[in-house]
Structure 1
Amino acid sequence: MSEPDITLYRLQACPYCERVVRRLNQYDLDYRSRFIEPMHSDRDVVKRLSGKRTVPAIVDENTGVTMSESANIVEYLDNTYGEEGAA
């Protein structure tokens, strides 16, 4: 079985992260979760990917998109995988 093309970097019990998880599940998208360090200054993995240490952050290998901020990610998922942008 191959790895999912979408990776979500998130924190435990983060409401912004859960917002993205709900949208991924709504579109029945396979993704892998990578839980990151809760200490903001230790989030070097996310910083290297998106240029920021904020979560959630997503990497979509299907489109080459890397982004952070839940509202931006949800909008991206809607436009890319929702009814209007269905691939």
Structure 2
Amino acid sequence: MTEPTITLYRLQACPYCERVVRTLDEHGLDYRSRFVEPMHSDRNVVKRISGKRTVPAIVDENTGVTMSESANIVDYIERTYGDAEGKGA
């Protein structure tokens, strides 16, 4: 079994994070979750990868994309992986 190439940095019970989780699941994408510190000022791991301390944030090793903000991430997933299920059908 191969390691997922998408990493999602998220908080417990975060509605914006759950929106991204739903989109990843809808597209059947494997991902690893990294739960981060609830205190905004303690989210150094997220700051190192995305330049911001906000969540959700993803790193997609398939494309080299790192981004934050749920609306941007959902749009990215739709554009990048949205047509995969419809191809060949």
Q: TM-score, normalised by structure 1?
A: 0.95
How much has 1:2 moved relative to structure 2? 2.1
DSSP-derived class of the 2:59 partner: strand
Identity %: 81
DSSP-derived class of the 1:67 partner: strand
Unpaired segments ≥5 residues, structure 2: none
Once superposed, what is the RMSD of the aligned Cα atoms? 1.1
DSSP-derived class of the 1:55 partner: coil
How much has 1:60 moved relative to structure 2? 0.2
Amino acid at match of 1:34: R
Q: 1:69 aligns to what?
A: 69
Map 1:41-56; keep pairs closer than 5 Å: 41-56=41-56
Taking the aligned partners of 1:26 and 1:73, their CA distance within structure 2 comes to 14
Any idea what the Cα deviations from partners look like across 1:54-83, whole Å, max 9, x if unmatched?
A: 000000000000000000000000000002
Bigger radius of gyration among the two: 2
The count of residues paired between Structure 1 and Structure 2 equals 85
Unpaired segments ≥5 residues, structure 1: none
Any idea what the Cα deviations from partners look like across 1:3-55, whole Å, max 9, x if unmatched?
A: 10000000000000000000000000000000000000000000000000000
